[in-house]
Every structure is written in C-alpha cells, then in structure tokens.
Amino acid sequence: MTKRYWEDFSAGQVEEFGRRTLTEDEIIEFATEFDPQFFHTDPVAAKDHFFGGLIASGWHTGSTLMRMMVDHQFANSSSMGSPGLDELRWVSPVRPNETLTAKSEVLETHPHPKRDDRGIVKFRHTVLNGDGDVKMTMISNVMFGRRPEEKA
Amino acid sequence: MTKRYWEDFSAGQVEEFGRRTLTEDEIIEFATEFDPQFFHTDPVAAKDHFFGGLIASGWHTGSTLMRMMVDHQFANSSSMGSPGLDELRWVSPVRPNETLTAKSEVLETHPHPKRDDRGIVKFRHTVLNGDGDVKMTMISNVMFGRRPEEKA
C-alpha cells in the first residue's frame, strides 16, 4: 500500500468504509466517563423520556467515526492532525447495536498558508446505519504532509 | 440547587468551571481505542515528530470538556442533548499532565422552531490550561426543556 500524501486527495473524491456496532454496555461505559446524562447511561430512565431509549453520546459517535477514519483513511498517510471542525450535526440518535458505517467526501484541498511542507484537506464525513439513515455529519479540516520530492 | 431550564440561560452569561488532568496513560488508552495515530499513542515516536511529544486526541479533549459541562452546567438541568456544533478549533496541543479548565459563554438563546416545550442555547466553550493558554474552542447548540408553568 502506497503512503498517502496531501497531493493524493482532490475535491470530489468519495470513499465508503468502516463497520462498527456500539453495544449498550459500550454506550454506557463511554458516557459514564465522558457524558453522564441519564439518556446515555440509564436504559430504564431513558425508556420513559424524549428519546424513548438509551442513545450514544454524540462524542462517542464522533470518536467512533474518528477511529474509522484512522483505520481506513489515515493509517498509511502523512496525517498531521486537525486544526478543527467547521460543522458537526448529530442528525438522529445512535441506539445500541446499530451498525455504523462512514462516507467521506473531499470538499476541497489547499496548501497550508504558512508552511510549505503540508496542506489541508476539507472533508465532509457522514455516519450512517445499516439502513442508510444518516446519524451524523461533520465537516473537518485535516493536515497532511506533502509528498517529498524525488531525489534526482 | 434549583433545576436549570432554558429560561435560565441568557446571552452574555459567563461561567468558569472544571479541573481535569489527562495523564500519559489516559491519553494513550483513549487514543488506542478511538484515534490510534502515533502522536497520540507512542511517546517515543512522538518525540521525534512535529509535535515534539505525545499529545491528546482532539476527541479526548472534546469529550473531557463535555464531562466538565455535564458536571457543572447540565447536571441539574433540563438538558435534552445537542443538535450539533457550529465550529470546533483545536488551537494548541494538549500534553500529558496539563490541567484543563473550561470557560463557557452564552452567545444567544432562542425557542425551538418547532416544539414549544424546549429551547436552544448557543454556547462558546473554551478549554484552557493552568497558564491560561487556549487549547480548544467550540461553538455548540444545546436543547433545554422550558420551565413548566406553575399551576394556579
């Protein structure tokens, strides 16, 4: 597998990847540490409330997307981290045992404004379940190193 | 402590809260599960690279902010989750053993466009370390239930 540099991304590229199911136990464990609101941690209390059952913390869904991105897009790349997100939407609740997959679209690429060893890729990522229902969308900026020049 | 409803938030409110240190082990554990890039998981390899040492996954920093928000802003409130973030910036790296705190500013509030039992609060949150260096900023929208009418 060839290493992926900034030059290898271009606007319009679409990729689909990843497959991850969050169990009830995993949802509760994550939320107990990072987002202990009852609709993320207490299946009984959640049943009688507005979501009608336990749902994953949005940070759990986002972190799960990140893992899919690392495994499938960044694993063998020159990724240098992210300056941030331009938008994130939690479109519909993620419930226990739903299978999540990801879709990635490159919106644009541009050289880093100050440093000539790297560039920025702006992505739109979508998290979907097995029925194609959209769970989350995210527009992010990721830095990648530029391809080293071949020595003559 | 009185329960906090949508009506209790108003533009301009500022709160500072939370205190959380991420150890090297915690940074590696989170990243091994959700963001296994070497600069988040391998202190030795990270030392020779662009950040000059191990740094926390941005999702770990964001999830840690969420925990501080839940503990200090949402614990005894009518919080109903979030439709999403309008912006998130990872301004500078979070390194092991830095003490993180949070600042919250209410940017605006408005009733839910469709449902009269809830409203939206738009926050700007900032994560800082003990020296006041900004680590992360985030603009989020959070739904809160409206205060039930007093029965006559």
pTM confidence score: 0.96
Phi-psi region of B78 (alpha: psi -120 to 50; beta: other; left: phi over 0): alpha
CA distances from A137 to A74, A91, B50, B131 (A): 19, 7, 29, 34
Interface of B with A in 43-82 (CB under 8 A): 50-51, 55, 57-59, 62-64, 66-67, 70, 74, 79-82
Do residues A86 and A140 lie in contact, with contact meaning Cβ atoms separated by under 8 Å? yes
pLDDT tens per residue, range A108-136 = 999 999 999 999 999 999 999 999 999 99
Phi, psi of B19 (to 5 degrees): -165, 110
Closest by Cα among A87, A90, A80 to A59: A90
CA distances from B17 to A75, B45, B82 (A): 36, 34, 20
Do residues B104 and B66 lie in contact, with contact meaning Cβ atoms separated by under 8 Å? no
Closest by Cα among A53, A64, A39 to A128: A64
Q: How far is residue B75's CA from residue A36's CA, in Å, rounded to a whole number?
A: 9
| Chain center to CA of A87 | 12
Q: How far is residue B48's CA from residue B44's CA, in Å, rounded to a whole number?
A: 7
Provide ipTM, 2 decimals.
Answer: 0.95
Do residues B36 and B47 lie in contact, with contact meaning Cβ atoms separated by under 8 Å? no
CATH topology of domain B6-145: Thiol Ester Dehydrase; Chain A (3.10.129)
Q: Do B58 and A82 touch (CB under 8 A)?
A: yes
Length of chain B: 152
Selected for mutation to probe chain B from A63, A76, A80, A82 (highest B CB count within 10 Å) is A63
Residue B1 confidence (pLDDT): 66
pLDDT tens per residue, range A40-87 = 999 999 998 888 999 999 999 999 999 999 999 998 999 999 999 999
Mean predicted confidence (pLDDT) in B122-138: 97
Q: What 3 state SS string does B39-58 have?
A: HHHCHHHHHCCCCCCCCCCH
Q: How far is residue A34's CA from residue B42's CA, in Å, rounded to a whole number?
A: 23
Closest chain A residue to B83 measured between Cα atoms?
Answer: A90
Q: Do B66 and A59 touch (CB under 8 A)?
A: yes
Interface of B with A in 6-35 (CB under 8 A): 33-35
